[in-house]
Amino acid sequence: MKIICNILITIFCLLINHFALAESTFNEVVSILENDNPLVYAKAAQIDLDRYQNGNLPHYPVNMSSIFEQGSEQLIQDAKRTVNDKADYYEYLPKLLHSNGVCITGEWVMDASSPFTGAFKGGNKSLFIGRISTAMEQTTKGNKRGFGFAGKIFPTLNTHEPVQTENFFTVDVLMGTETPRYLQTATTNQPEIGFSWSLMYLGIKIASALTEADEDPGFRPVNNLASLNQVGSISSPKWIKIKPKSGQVMNDESDFRMEVFKAMKENNGLTFEIFWSNTTNDYTTNKGWRRIGEIRVDDAIISFGCDRRLHFAHPKVSN
């Protein structure tokens, strides 16, 4: 019995270490996005994989039926995984929220002076993978869309170096707005809730489930970014804002994913500016925000790996 207990303890510790100290290379995660060396998937995953054939844009439902098909337990379980597990990707990871997205790759560059540490430190330059998504199921303009921007920072410029990443998650308005283009909005780590009669009950149910995993699911702190490769005390802003750089060529693609793709081509890449504030989380104003750097994007990818394998560990408010 003692031997069995020791084995179980060892396995438990290995699992804890896997999730707490998970490391990936930039190239490894990009290969997931590009569906290199695809696995043999179970039926449900294979159906999803087939949605992306011939350049098709999948449209995953995000509504009361899809989210709560098995009650609240699955969403609670997913929320707990998101704030506790550090893995950068899984073999198969259906997203109940923010199901439809486009991934981007490039660099995180702090090109302004900064009072902060880690990823926010002036002069910091790191590899970057992000995912732009909508909070609910609407992907085309003319509908209310809540835009999300999740980021994964690799503290290296060596695409082959295994590192532990740090992640952030930002949104403009959770219940969406009728902003016609993604390139006309900005996202923060404490987004507005917004208002929609049709989504009010669903929003309350989602918030109730997410609170089971974290005391304040509407706020995603960024202290973890300030701790990246930092020895000693850390210094972090409370809020960050990610905003498309002004002056970039826009287009009239209806689906935000194709908008990002076309903008990438017409601008020969995309740039998102990074701002910080300790006084406001208002994404609509410039007052109270200071520019600290930018994300320089060189590629965009719509894929099974982006929507159904990539994982962003959300920073947790409570311990």
Rounded CA gap, 220 and 315, in Å?
6
pLDDT of 18: 43
In terms of C-beta distances under 8 Å and separation of at least 24 residues, what long-range contacts does 247-256 make, across chains too? 248/183, 250/181, 250/183, 250/184, 251/181, 254/140, 254/141, 254/142, 255/57, 255/139, 255/140, 256/102, 256/132, 256/134, 256/139, 256/140, 256/141, 256/145, 256/147, 256/181, 256/182
Please report which confidence band the pLDDT of residue 10 belongs to, taking 50, 70 and 90 as the band edges.
Answer: very low
**pTM reported for the whole predicted model:** 0.91
pLDDT at residue 28 above 90? yes
Alpha helices in the chain (DSSP H): 2-20, 26-33, 43-50, 64-67, 73-84, 200-211, 223-226, 256-267, 304-308
pLDDT band at 313 (very low <50, low <70, confident <90, very high): very high
> CA torsion 28→32→35→39, rounded to 10°?
100
Q: How far apart are CA 301 and CA 311, in angstroms?
A: 15
Looking at 2.60.40, 1.25.40, 3.30.420, 2.40.180, the CATH number of the domain 24-308 comes to: 2.40.180
Judge contact between 272 and 243, C-beta under 8 A: yes
Give me the amino acid identity at 318: S
Give the tens place of pLDDT for each residue, 123-164.
999 999 999 999 989 999 999 999 999 999 999 999 999 999
Q: Which of 59-63, 122-126, 214-218, 260-264 has the lowest mean pLDDT?
A: 214-218
Q: What are phi and psi of 35, to 5 degrees?
A: 60, 35
53 has a pLDDT exceeding 90: no
User: How many residues in total does the chain contain?
Assistant: 319
Name which of 260, 258, 285, 255 is nearest 272 in CA terms.
260
Local confidence band at 41 (pLDDT 50, 70, 90 cut-offs): confident
Per residue in 63-121, pLDDT (tens digit) is: 999 999 878 999 999 999 988 899 999 999 999 999 999 999 999 999 999 999 999 99
Closest CA to 169 of 95, 230, 233: 95
* 160-200 confidence digits (pLDDT tens): 999 999 999 999 999 999 999 999 999 999 999 998 888 88
Question: How far is residue 5's CA from residue 14's CA, in Å, rounded to a whole number?
Answer: 14
Q: What pLDDT is recorded for position 20?
A: 45
| pLDDT on residue 199 | 82
Domain ranges across the chain: 24-308
